[in-house]
Amino acid sequence: MTRALIVIDVQNDFCPGGALAVPGGDDIVAGINALMADYDAVVLTQDWHPTGHSSFASSHNGKAPYEMIDMPYGPQVLWPDHCVQGTEGAAFHADLNTGRASMIVRKGYRPAIDSYSAFFENDHETPTGLEGYLRTRGITDLTMVGLATDFCVNFSAVDAAKLGFNVTVRTDLCRAIDLDGSLASAQSGMTGAGVTLA
- CA dist., res. 80 & res. 54, Å (int): 11
> Choosing among Zn ion, ligand VGL, none, which partner's interface includes residue 183 (Cβ < 5 to 8 Å by kind)?
none
Rounded Cα gap, residues 45 and 6, in angstroms: 8
Q: Is residue 9 among the annotated active site residues?
A: yes
Q: Which of 79, 92, 120, 165 binds ligand VGL (CB under 6 A)?
A: 79
Is 178 marked active-site?
no
Residue 89 in contact with residue 13, Cβ under 8 Å? yes
Compute how many other C-beta atoms are within 10 angstroms of the C-beta atom of residue 106.
Answer: 16
Nearest-angstrom CA–CA distance, 97 and 101: 8
Q: Which residue in 15, 42, 101, 147 binds ligand VGL (CB under 6 A)?
A: 147
Interface with Zn ion, residue 47, by CB under 5 A: yes
In sequence order, what E strands does the chain have? 3-8, 41-47, 68-71, 74-77, 103-107, 141-147, 166-175, 196-197
Residue range at the interface with ligand VGL (CB under 6 A); choices 32-40, 147-155, 159-167, 184-192: 147-155
Counting contacts by CB under 6 A, is residue 9 touching ligand VGL? yes
- Reported as type and span, the H/E element at residue 131 is helix 130-136
Phi, psi of 143 (to 5 degrees): -115, 130
**C-beta of 108: minimal distance to Zn ion in Å?**
5
Q: Candidates 98-106, 129-137, 145-153, 189-197 — which segment interacts with ligand VGL by CB under 6 A?
A: 145-153
The catalytic position among 26, 81, 114, 152 is: 152
Contacted by 148, from ligand VGL, Zn ion, none: CB < 5 to 8 Å by type: ligand VGL
Which residues sit at the interface with ligand VGL, rule CB under 6 A?
A: 9, 14, 47, 79, 116, 147-148, 151-152
Kindly list the residues in this chain that would bind Zn ion in the complex (CB under 5 A).
47, 108
- The residues annotated with a catalytic role in the active site are 9, 107, 152
